Structure 1
């Protein structure tokens, strides 16, 4: 049962009051959000026009607090969204200075920023840099590959890169520790034909290092492989006292994988098998067979026998 009874006219007046109150509240909110305010947003910074004769290292984090001027709507959205464009700082004055005054670049920065976001100041307003001698160094490119091959297919020759080296330009105390530069990862499955593609180099993580070129041409020879078996002689090594040694057997059979294009050209001269006679003085009664020379494009599958007997005639 209602506590307060209102007549029809009273209910009508209450309804009109609530409606007017809600309209006034919405109007106040809209008027407030349409006003101009200053607010702070944390933004990443990137560099452009780096000095060519001086290597540098920033002495502060790669973010700054930008004081912006905008409407209440922009203040509201800045709190719920962090997707702001990075601030591009021009470094051309570092050729003759050790710091960058950000507030002197506000007009230039605002030209390339979203027109709805106007920066009026930065905190900190000055960026300081440490300088070392800039050096140039040439290092080999290291391909990063994640390849799986179709059955009976595999890499048949050395990987080719053109160019095979990258030129680094940056501070000597950083460059001296870099011995190679990796490519982006190339991932391919069920490879059954040669690979010929352009592969990008991994980007630099430091703003004070530059690399050239940015990519390389990658060639991976791929062929179908098959197995082949040859009988090859066993060479006795470390017979320092020149004993008369008879090996039984004196030849072994090796089974190996070979590209189809090279199947007919391979003979026993491409391989070498050895037995270390020095092991006899250590108490060995049989000598293990080691395959010591194999073409780079071949892989030994098995050797029969793995050990050989021997007779020593003093």
Structure 2
């Protein structure tokens, strides 16, 4: 809106910050008005200024009042970001949200494109204890989320390191064929909570390799993978990561 007036009036307008219009869309559309323009629009603008103010021009000249009913959709909240803990701690379980779902309001077309409500990309660094922190929902054009902020619950536990020596075995060997691994055992290191430390034993881990997955390896080496491990063990590492193997034929006695 472009206006002219005396200096004092302009100063008062600047101080009062009369820079917005309130339009009762429901009342106008019920009266059969689908657009705001002409004298009606000009009078609405004039109501925001002093009687001495001269309106030189305004843009846009027409405001379309057509509306459509908003649809709603309940969406699960999904975290987007990074979580790191201090050295002796790890995230003990999946994060959760309070609430776990938010309601999205928008056109049917806009909502059909949404499968979940994603948080703003957020980084939580060096967490030392279980935390409940605010995180905002990432805005989507034409969609309103209620609520637009949730609480993320991050369970943190203190962990310690432990290492076991685990034998390497093979299954599915045909007939009289046998296999030897060099070395024949591997060190399995992992992180575990103090509560679970004494509950885990070497027998909870197995490195059992299927003959069919490595017998054609021309370099005579096979990558090691755990075939069994307890759920309480986190950040599991195997050393060495691969070993040499040699096939032998058993003789009948």
Is the TM value for this pair above 0.5? yes
Residue from 116, 126, 130 that aligns with 1:180: 116
Q: 1:114 to 1:129 in 2, by over 3 A?
A: closer
Match for residue 226 of structure 1? 160
- Deviation of the 1:186 alpha carbon: 4.6
Match for residue 224 of structure 2? 289
Matched, 1:255 2:189: yes
Structure 1 residue runs of 5 or longer lacking an equivalent are 1-38, 41-67
Cα distance between partner residues in 1 of 2:74 and 2:45 = 35
Structure with larger Rg = 1
Cα distance between partner residues in 1 of 2:4 and 2:18 = 14
Matched, 1:124 2:57: no
If each structure's strand is expressed as a fraction of its own residues, which one has the higher value? Answer: 1
- Deviation of the 1:194 alpha carbon: 1.0
Match for residue 135 of structure 2? 199
Cα distance between partner residues in 2 of 1:99 and 1:266 = 72
Structure 2 residue runs of 5 or longer lacking an equivalent are none
- CA root-mean-square deviation: 4.3
Residue from 161, 164, 169 that aligns with 2:100: 164
- Deviation of the 1:177 alpha carbon: 2.0
Match for residue 280 of structure 1? 215
Match for residue 101 of structure 1? 36
Q: Secondary structure at the match of 2:215?
A: helix
Q: 1:72 to 1:163 in 2, by over 3 A?
A: same
Contact 1:228-1:255 at 8 Å conserved across structures: yes
Match for residue 138 of structure 1? 74
Report the number of matched residues: 243
Contact 2:95-2:155 at 8 Å conserved across structures: yes
If each structure's helix is expressed as a fraction of its own residues, which one has the higher value? Answer: 1
Contact 1:132-1:172 at 8 Å conserved across structures: no
Q: Secondary structure at the match of 1:193?
A: coil
